[in-house]
Amino acid sequence: HCAGLCAAAKVVMHGATVAGQVVNCAGAGRWLMLDEATVEEVAACYHAPLLAAANMCRAFTADMKSRHAGAFVQVQSPGGVTSWGGSTAYISARWALRGLTLALQADLRDTGIQVQEVMLPEVDSGYWLHNPGSRQRVPWLGKLLGVPTISARKAAVYVARAIESRAAFSCFGGALPLMTELNLLLPRFISRLISWSACSYSRCSRHTQTRHAAMKRHACHAAMRTRIKTACPRLHYRLLTLCPAAY
């Protein structure tokens, strides 16, 4: 993935197009508790947005420095300023993206390069289709307080507005800017409220235990069918004919 990003950056820099603003809005990985996720699922959350954004910025920084112009725009989630249960790797990756943004702002100060962070509410995109079960873990408090779900087109409009403002941090989406301001003043209180409306550890654990128990029953059932088929094929096919659903 990193090699592909670097190759794409070289094509842009050696072509007729000049990269004025680089927008990092990639996201990947299911919302899972750490003990629910596989090693690959944890890695996916860090590959995008964190590693993808870091390598994209690295690829274009030298060119932008030589021109004393340009901007890196990191599209951020509310998970980058607070936390809730049920999405450990996702939230920690978003906090890491915020750290990358702050570090880049310090690195590129007085170079003519803008580093901006744009926080958006839930976007109705293909992300949810590719990461099943994640949408059910979105805290419902935001909807209750008037934070909307926006389209990808609306998200693009907000990002363009943020770029035009040249602000280091921008936040859009109904009541989300107000909640972000409150989070700065009362971070522990807001985090508790959001966590209360999200997927708690106990609920996630019960779901995981139920799923593991069902998988175990299915494995035992399959082993029993295999033994019957090996020991008595006629009984196996008889049971399969008479009661296929139960057998």
pLDDT tens digit string along 195-210? 888 865 445 555 555 5
Q: Which residues of the chain form beta strands (DSSP E)?
A: 21-24, 71-76, 114-119, 123-124, 150-151, 169-171
Q: Which residue has the higher pLDDT, 87 or 11?
A: 87
Instruction: Report the C-alpha gap between 176 and 193 in whole angstroms.
Output: 14
Query: Which pLDDT score, from 0 to 100, does residue 202 have?
Result: 44
pLDDT of residue 145: 85
Identify the pLDDT of residue 111: 96
- Supply the pLDDT for residue 226: 75
Residue 79 burial by CB count (10 A; 0-12/13-18/19+): exposed, middle or buried? buried
- Residues 79-84 have a mean pLDDT of 94
More confident residue, 8 or 176: 176
Q: Is 23 helix (H, G, I), strand (E, B) or coil?
A: strand
pLDDT of residue 245: 55
Residue 230: pLDDT band with limits 50, 70, 90: confident
Spatial distance between the Cα atoms of 41 and 30, rounded to a whole number of angstroms: 7
User: For residue 40, is pLDDT > 80?
Assistant: yes
- Pick from 84, 147, 139: nearest CA to 119: 147
Q: Is residue 229 very low, low, confident or very high in pLDDT (cuts 50, 70, 90)?
A: confident
* Average pLDDT, integer, range 230-235: 71
pLDDT tens digit sequence for 102-140: 999 999 999 999 999 999 999 999 999 999 999 999 998
pLDDT in tens, 146-198: 899 999 999 999 999 999 999 999 999 999 999 999 999 989 888 888 888 88
Task: Give me the numbers of helices (H) and strands (E) for the chain, helices first please.
Answer: 11, 6
Please say whether the beta carbons of 36 and 204 come within 8 A.
yes
Mean pLDDT of 1-11: 62
| Token pair recorded at residue 202 | 């106990």
The residue ranking higher by pLDDT, 23 or 210, is: 23
Plot region of 162 (φ>0 → left; ψ -120 to 50 → alpha; else → beta): alpha
